[in-house]
Amino acid sequence: MTRKFMRISIIILISVNCYSQNKIHFTPNFNESKETTHKIPKGQDYTFGYMEVLENRDNPDGNRIKLPIYIFKSRSKNSKPDPIIYTVGGPGYTSMRASKYMEYYKYLDDRDFILFEQRGTQYAKPSLDCPEWSKAVHQSNLPNFDSTKTDSLFQKAAKRCNERLRKNGIDLNYYTTNQIAADINDLTSVLGIKEYNLLTMSYSTKIGQVLMRDYPDKVRSVVMDSPLPLEVNYDEESVNNLLESLDKLLSDCEIDMDCNDAFPNIKSRFLKYLEEKSNNPLEVEVENPNSGKLETFYLKGKDLIIVFSSASTGSVPNIPLEINKILNNDLSSVKKQLQYLFQGPGDGVGKGMRLSVWCAEENPFNSQEKIVIETNKHKAVKGLSPAVFDDEVCKIWGVKKVAQIENQAVRSDIPVLLISGEYDELTPAKWAESMSNNLTNSYHLIFKGWKHGPTTNWSNPCAMQAANDFFNKPTEIPKPDCFDQIKSPKFKTE
């Protein structure tokens, strides 16, 4: 080999080594910021900043994304060394809104509390917003919309949003649950956390399961509020879960003497009514607040069941009364809900992240045949699709299917507290019960008469108390006095 070629070979080797070193030595970093996402009430001791990570961990020269983080210091002078990391559900919701309400979080009585924003959500940089999708939702809900054009409307919205995000250089394949779990694991390294507790809710319980499976070493304990198991195909079950939850609540009304006297046979009457309206829609005239004109909505059973599905835990006692109003043609509450549909479209915050997660992790494992069957199977809500996103929309979104392991149950001996609401139609208690078979050190609390997200029931912080008690003693089931005081709801009859 000549000296000239030797020099060239050395230069190439040095270049390759430099590239390899850059790839190996890229480390996430955290930079404090005085400009926060929200105005924090006085008296809170906290640090705010952004963690920078790679969008694609296999491409060190690619995009870097920034995730906002709040680190709230414990109110205790002798705080415990293992903080809580909290991230919310969706997928696509922001964790940052909680920063305004830390005075109400019991967890800070004992340890530091870290708010983590998932990649692609509202305050992350970039945020995968889809105003195109929100515009389509708004348009499809207007009374004069031609329902035969619904599919094409949302397909066009997905296409426009997808093209815009990709044009901005965003790789939508890397906004998935396992990437978010890797971000949280990076955060613990950046902050020097040796051991931590994890508080998750709804969708983010999937993030918790991936952390327990892939990065278990630092995880001390996990609370899963309204858990969504990795192995469940959500889209195949959602309509059935809705009807089962409604059945449970109305059955409880029928065994309550006062409720049954006021609303006899309410379950069978309501289901029969929904079935009738699925065939002959209910005409409801509502004043358009923008024009002052009366406009007509045609509501089927799948629309009217929202009286149950839109209710929060606090409004559960009113549900039989509200159903009875509809059965007696008192449509005042229905009209009030319909008026909200005239408001302008939202900004689509986090919707692109939701599409990426769902189309990579849920849609590929669905049976489209089962979804079609479920859409038409239940006479009371005929036409109500169980799918969050239509299969064609996911084809347009065009993200890669995740590995098969992301649809398989996680087995672990890490202490876990599973928390469910008895009437939760989104993540039913039966799912948490099935998960407990694979989580050998798990406990399950079901809150009677409650719905989705018990730890955020601000009218009764009992589930939050139970979660905090568990973080303090994760080797035993929490038994706060308030839990035994929660009974089946006292339904209102007038």
Higher pLDDT, 8 or 203: 203
Mean pLDDT of 140-151: 93
Mean pLDDT of 126-145: 95
Asked if residue 412 and residue 272 are part of one domain, the reply reads no
Share of the chain above pLDDT 90, in %: 92
Mean pLDDT of 90-111: 97
Structural domain including 328 reads 234-334
Asked if residue 220 and residue 266 are part of one domain, the reply reads no
Asked if residue 210 and residue 251 are part of one domain, the reply reads no
Asked if residue 420 and residue 281 are part of one domain, the reply reads no
82 lies in some domain:
yes
179 lies in some domain:
no
* DSSP 8-class letter at 439: B
* pLDDT at 426 > cutoff 80: yes
* pLDDT at 445 > cutoff 90: yes
Higher pLDDT, 290 or 375: 375
147 lies in some domain:
no
Asked if residue 214 and residue 241 are part of one domain, the reply reads no
pLDDT grade for 82, boundaries at 50, 70 and 90? very high
Q: Are strands 111-116 and 64-72 parallel, antiparallel or unpaired?
A: antiparallel
Mean pLDDT of 177-194: 98
Mean pLDDT of 86-108: 97
Give me the pLDDT at residue 188, please. 98
Nearest residue to 195 (alpha-carbon basis) of 108, 78, 81: 81
456 lies in some domain:
yes
Asked if residue 249 and residue 227 are part of one domain, the reply reads no
Give the start-end residues of each E strand in 246-397: 282-287, 294-299
Full-model pTM: 0.93
pLDDT grade for 22, boundaries at 50, 70 and 90? very low
In angstroms, rounded to a whole number, what is the distance separating the alpha carbons of residues 364 and 357? 11
169 lies in some domain:
no
* pLDDT at 25 > cutoff 50: yes
Tell me which of 271, 304, 334 is where a domain ends: 334
Task: Provide the 3-class DSSP secondary structure of residue 361.
Answer: helix
Residue holding tokens 């491409």? 59
Give me the pLDDT at residue 206, please. 98
In angstroms, rounded to a whole number, what is the distance separating the alpha carbons of residues 369 and 372? 5
Asked if residue 314 and residue 248 are part of one domain, the reply reads yes
Q: What is the CATH number of the domain that holds 222?
A: 3.40.50.1820
Asked if residue 261 and residue 212 are part of one domain, the reply reads no
Asked if residue 286 and residue 221 are part of one domain, the reply reads no
Share of the chain above pLDDT 70, in %: 95
* pLDDT at 282 > cutoff 70: yes
Nearest residue to 447 (alpha-carbon basis) of 432, 437, 436, 435: 432
In angstroms, rounded to a whole number, what is the distance separating the alpha carbons of residues 240 and 381? 10
Mean pLDDT of 36-43: 96
Specify the number of domains making up the chain.
2
Residues present in the chain in total:
494
* pLDDT at 344 > cutoff 70: yes
* pLDDT at 7 > cutoff 50: no
Nearest residue to 289 (alpha-carbon basis) of 346, 338, 354: 338
Asked if residue 239 and residue 100 are part of one domain, the reply reads no
Do the beta carbons of residue 314 and residue 459 sit within 8 Å?
yes
The 10 Å CB-count burial string (b at 16+, else e) for 466-482 is bbbbbbeebeeebebee
Give me the pLDDT at residue 24, please. 54
- 419 is written with which tokens? 């928390």
Tell me which of 289, 305, 334 is where a domain ends: 334
* pLDDT at 464 > cutoff 60: yes
In angstroms, rounded to a whole number, what is the distance separating the alpha carbons of residues 446 and 467? 13
CA distances from 123 to 96, 118, 178 (A): 7, 9, 20
Give me the pLDDT at residue 20, please. 41
In angstroms, rounded to a whole number, what is the distance separating the alpha carbons of residues 193 and 51? 14
Do the beta carbons of residue 295 and residue 145 sit within 8 Å?
no
Do the beta carbons of residue 311 and residue 317 sit within 8 Å?
no
Higher pLDDT, 23 or 405: 405
Range of lowest pLDDT (12-16, 47-51, 138-142, 276-280): 12-16
Mean pLDDT of the chain: 94
Tell me which of 310, 334, 358 is where a domain ends: 334
Asked if residue 248 and residue 207 are part of one domain, the reply reads no
239 lies in some domain:
yes
Range of lowest pLDDT (194-198, 341-345, 418-422): 341-345
Q: Residue 201: CB partners within 8 Å, gap ≥ 6?
A: 88, 89, 224, 225, 226, 453, 455, 456
* pLDDT at 151 > cutoff 80: yes
pLDDT grade for 298, boundaries at 50, 70 and 90? very high
In angstroms, rounded to a whole number, what is the distance separating the alpha carbons of residues 70 and 48? 5
User: Which value, in Å, is the radius of gyration of the alpha carbons in the chain?
Assistant: 25
10 lies in some domain:
no
Query: Listing from the earlier edge strand, what are the strands of the sheet with 29-32?
Result: 29-32, 46-54, 64-72, 111-116, 80-87, 196-201, 219-225, 416-421, 442-447
pLDDT grade for 250, boundaries at 50, 70 and 90? very high
298 lies in some domain:
yes
Give the tens place of pLDDT for each residue, 40-75.
999 999 999 999 999 999 999 999 999 999 999 999
Asked if residue 311 and residue 255 are part of one domain, the reply reads yes
pLDDT grade for 9, boundaries at 50, 70 and 90? very low
Do the beta carbons of residue 99 and residue 86 sit within 8 Å?
no
Mean pLDDT of 110-118: 98
Residue 127: strand pairing partners: 120
